[in-house]
Structure formats: structure tokens, C-alpha cells
Amino acid sequence: MNSPLILRASLLSLAVAACWPGAGVRAAIAAHPLRQFEAAVQAGLPAAVHFNVGSGMTRKGEAGSDSMAGPAAGDLVVEESLDIDVVFPGKPPGSMYAGLWQGEPAVMTYSRGHLDITVVGEGGVTVSGFTDNSETPHTHAAGEAGNDNVPTQAALTRASLPEGPGPAPRYPDNELTFYFFPHDDIRGRKVEDIHADFVAWWAADMRRLFPGRPIHVLFSGHVDGVTDMRYGDRQTLDRWADTAHNFAVIEGLPTESRSWRHKYVLLVRELPYPGVAGVAIQGGNAALASLRGPYTVVAHEIGHTMDASHEQAELQFNPWPCETNTYAAPILLRTNCYRYSTGNLGRMAAHYFDGPAVTDGHGDSPVREVQDLP
């Protein structure tokens, strides 16, 4: 079974072969890649863009090894808007799109002065990016290679937003909203890169799960008492849950008792505590994810906050054996499927519509329950 992005690739490739650069797919040619992309999207979708980046463009995969791109190195097809707001510090809301990059299914994230193209496959996550300061793409290997065997913790259950000019957007309580807080110890890494590596492909899959429903993704800047929180011990998740709750109260944002559709995720450089790359509250609003973890660590932990479980995760074939997003203990010889299992998709949909499956009896917070890994 292939990922949703890969399943669509053959159909899109046929469309491109039939229409490039004809009437069925609009073609945009301009001097700068960002201006080309903007013009193509404004002209209407689907749109085809050929970036004049030269034949020397390189790609990076999970292992970090470079390989020469083929003759279609600059070919991009923007098929559709995903209707997902993405807010980075100091920028107006950006947008996300799905399509093809060099013939492969891709997710595009556009924000002022920045375009990232994320491709997932058997070899991991590949990101190609363009900025206003460069007409050639920058590439990087997503995540930190060699840490995919760090397990994610079984979920626990329990009873300022982006800095810059102007107020951050505020979204209704009943709309699915994910707040990401990059810890101060990863401030040297651009939030756009973090999004492209760990979040973009997952957000696109969430769109498939909740078609037509509002989805918002926000990244914070530095927040005193929040992004400098101490972590690394077994009390880390409790500390983060309290920190996120207090932040939400101060900022007038939904807490767990007011909305189960607003999630608060702390992104950290090191492990949340020894032996685990991520930890979350099952059916709750709080999670932590380490950038040392696998590319699926954010999807894994947010999945837990939406009631996805280890037990419902599956070993599938892509065609190599692959693990769905909430598999308990990744094995290096297997790849990521970059999707949730059918059983967990059902659990997440039920959480979205009905709220947490397990409560403390008062209906306003999940019950605390620790599930240890073997």
C-alpha cells in the first residue's frame, strides 16, 4: 500500500505529460522562482512552473547523500490548495499546496519570502526550498539522521504566539488548531525548515482526514516561561501540560476544558527525557517532540492527543515493510509509511467529532494513565 501522496502520483504524471506546458496546466515563466510560483498560483490551479535552476541542482535524502537531479529538476506542478493556514513568527499567514515536484508527489508551503517543497518516500523526507535571497534552491536532510530507532513514549493521559508586528491570528474553539513552540535550544534552526521536515507532510494528511474542515498551524517565537521550559526528567510532560495551560489562560486561548481541538506542542532539541523521542497526553492537548526523533515524531505525538494508539498502529508495505505513524518502537530496517493506520484514523475522527474517549468523570479532562514501553 502506498502513501496518499504516492497513490496520486501516477495520475498527476499523466496529466503533466498530456498538458505540459499546454492549456490544461498553466505554465509560468519568470525571473525568480518565488515570483514564478506566486504568478502561477494567482493565475489559477492546477499550474505548472519550470524553475530555471540549472542542471546542477542536488537533492538530499535521509542519509544526507547528494545526488544529481534529472533533466526535470526544476519542474513543479501545483495541483490544489490544501486550505491550511500556516503562521510563522513575524509573518502573515502562509498557505499550503499539493502537487508534483520532479515527478514525485509533494507538499508545498509558501510564506512571505519563502517556499519549501517537501517530498516523502522510502528514503525519508527530502526538502527543496527557495527564498527571496536566492534564485537557486537550498536543500537539507530532514531530521537528524541516525536517531530513527529512538522510541516514542506511549501516551500518558491526565485529569505568546508568533512574535512580530501585529497580533497573531486567533481561531474559533471548534477549529482544529496546532500551536508549535520551538524551544530556545533549537533557535538556531529556521522554523520554516522545521515545518517542512516534520509538519508539512503530516498536515497534508490531516487535510485528507478532515476534508473541508478548518486546519491551522502556528509556530511561536520566544515566549518567556514557555520556550525556555526545563525538560529532561520524568516530570517533563506534567510540567509542559501546566505551562501550556497557563499560557492559554493568559493569552485567552482554549484550554483542555474548553476545546479538545486546540493542541500545544513543545519542540525540543534533546530527548524529552532519557529513552524517548516524544511524549503526549492521550486524548489531551499537550505533547512534546524531539527533533532527534524520526520524521514521524510530530505525527506520532499529535496522533496520541487525538486518541491514536500504539495498539492500532500497523506494519504495512510500501512496498518495503513500513510502520504507520504511531508504531511504538521503530526498527531501523523498516521505513516510515507516513500515514496513520485505518484503525487510528477512525479513533482520530471520533476524537475530533466527539472529544476525548476517556474522561475523569466530569467530562473536562482525560484521566491520567501511564503506559510504559517494554
Rounded to an integer, the average pLDDT of 127-149 is: 66
186 and 133 within one domain: no
Strand partners, 59: 67
Task: Kindly state whether residue 147 falls inside one of the protein's structural domains.
Answer: no
326 located within any domain: yes
**pLDDT of 192-249, one tens digit each?**
999 999 999 999 999 999 999 999 999 999 999 999 999 999 999 999 999 999 999 9
Residue 168, in any domain of the structure: no
User: Given this model, what pLDDT does residue 122 score?
Assistant: 75
Banded model confidence at residue 372, pLDDT cuts 50, 70, 90 = very low
What nine digits make up the cell of 204?
497534508
- Domain assignment of residue 324, yes or no: yes
pLDDT of 127 over the 90 cut:
yes
At position 363, the amino acid (one-letter code) is: G
Report the C-alpha gap between 238 and 244 in whole angstroms. 10
**Are 108 and 244 members of one domain?**
no
- My answer on whether omega of the bond before 46 falls inside 30° of 0, hence cis, is yes
pLDDT tens digit sequence for 299-352: 999 999 999 999 999 999 978 899 999 998 777 778 889 999 999 999 999 999
DSSP string covering 199-245: IHHHHHHHHHHSTTS-EEEEE----TTTTT---SSTTHHHHHHHHHH
CATH number at residue 292: 3.40.390.10
Output the DSSP codes for 42-94: HH-SSEEEE----TT-EEE-TT--EEE--TTTTEEEEEEE--EEEE-TTS--B
Question: Residue 333 domain-assigned?
Answer: yes
Can you tell me the distance from the alpha carbon of 184 to that of 229, in angstroms, rounded to the nearest whole number?
9
Q: Which residue has the higher pLDDT, 323 or 136?
A: 323
Q: How many domains does the chain have?
A: 2
**Which amino acid is present at 23?**
A
pLDDT tens-digit series, residues 7-21: 444 444 444 444 444
Q: How far apart are CA 128 and CA 60, in angstroms?
A: 9
Alpha carbon distance 4, 1 (integer Å) = 9
In 3D space, the residue among 255, 348, 334 whose CA is nearest the CA of residue 299 turns out to be 348
Per residue in 24-56, pLDDT (tens digit) is 444 444 468 899 999 999 999 999 998 876 433
Q: Rounded to 10 degrees, what is the CA torsion of 266, 271, 275, 277?
A: 50
Residue 80 lies in a domain: yes
Distance, CA of 68 to CA of 130 (rounded, Å): 18
Residues 182, 113 share a domain: no
**Calpha distance 95→125 (Å, rounded):** 20
Amino acid of residue 307: D
Asked if 24 and 133 sit in the same domain, the reply is yes
For residues 180 and 202, what is the distance between their CA atoms, to the nearest angstrom? 14
Q: Tens of pLDDT along 67-114? A: 333 334 568 999 999 999 999 998 989 999 999 998 999 999 999 999
User: Does residue 307 lie within any of the structural domains?
Assistant: yes
Residues 63 and 180 in one domain: no
Angular region, 335: left φ>0, alpha ψ -120 to 50, beta rest: beta
pLDDT of 271 strictly over 80: yes
Q: Which domain holds residue 291?
A: 176-354
Question: DSSP class of residue 264?
Answer: E
Calculate the CA dihedral of residues 60, 191, 348, 277 and round it to 10 degrees.
70
Residue 145, pLDDT score: 39
Identify whether the C-beta of residue 166 lies closer than 8 Å to the C-beta of residue 70: no
In a shared domain, residues 116 and 239: no
Torsion angle in degrees (nearest 10) through CA of 116, 207, 182, 303: -140
Does residue 116 sit in the same domain as residue 200? no
Q: Are both 346 and 205 inside the same structural domain?
A: yes
